Chains A and B, each alone.
Chain A
């Protein structure tokens, strides 16, 4: 039983953690090398990892996806510890629209223009902080979605993830609040109801005992007298 419970717990942590890691914004220090548009035919595997077409357009199975090709500074620990090495990274750039994830992004074209304005080659590097969510997966052709681009002077910047800080504080406060609500509900509504039900059950039990007494007495009257 403990084994099952621990498995469920671990699964829950992995799923919720994965979801948060996918959806929450992250900041990369990158240098944009080019921007491009490719046509994509989604499969059932990678459709889930793309948003919808530009919010004014209709949704077809095939459409063009804006991509931002970059060289990215590598990091450790979700971007908190910078590394010296660089690696290429490709971001998609599409509207999230009104629903999910709740970034309410409608300015993909403007973002693409901004990205194009910051394209730089070796020798004259223009570094930018690129905010994004999502994962890159080469086997399923999945790209993280770029949300914003901010030019910076050099690659050594300290990025403070304000949104994530406030988000996790809010999550903690909300969890405590829900716990307080649940306790109040139990103390004031569920426990008294259970006590009531317990008393009612005792009464039923008592009456059943009496009834049983009557029946067994009646049965006894058919038995042979000793």
Chain B
């Protein structure tokens, strides 16, 4: 069945894209946090304070809207397929 194949392999391919984008997005956020820590760290802060700062920042990111927006990777192609279906097959 063509539809089953499309959904199966499409899901696999989009999952690869999803994972790649989420890893990238986390990495960018972590780099940003590290830089902002370097810029204005409190006086006499040790490595543990830095680790806590980074962990809190990443937790805040994880609970924010951005990781959820990456789910659009699945939504947009599905919407495009439906749009293509309608456009191609309407007279």
Q: Which residues of A contact B (CB under 8 A)?
A: 55, 97-99, 102-107, 110, 114, 147-148, 180-181, 184-185, 188-189
Contact = CB atoms under 8 A, between A and B. Distances in A.
B2 A181 contact: no
Interface residues of B, number: 17
Interface string B1-30: 011011000000000000011001001101
A107 B84 CA distance: 13
B20 A181 contact: yes
- Residue among A98, A106, A185, A188 with most chain B CB within 10 A: A98
24 contacts: A55-B2, A97-B2, A98-B2, A98-B3, A98-B5, A99-B2, A99-B5, A99-B6, A102-B84, A104-B81, A104-B84, A104-B85, A104-B88, A106-B85, A107-B88, A107-B89, A110-B91, A114-B91, A181-B24, A184-B24, A184-B31, A185-B27, A188-B30, A189-B27
Nearest to A149: B91
User: Helix, strand, loop or mixed for chain B's interface?
Assistant: helix
Nearest to B6: A98
Interface of B: 2-3, 5-6, 20-21, 24, 27-28, 30-31, 81, 84-85, 88-89, 91
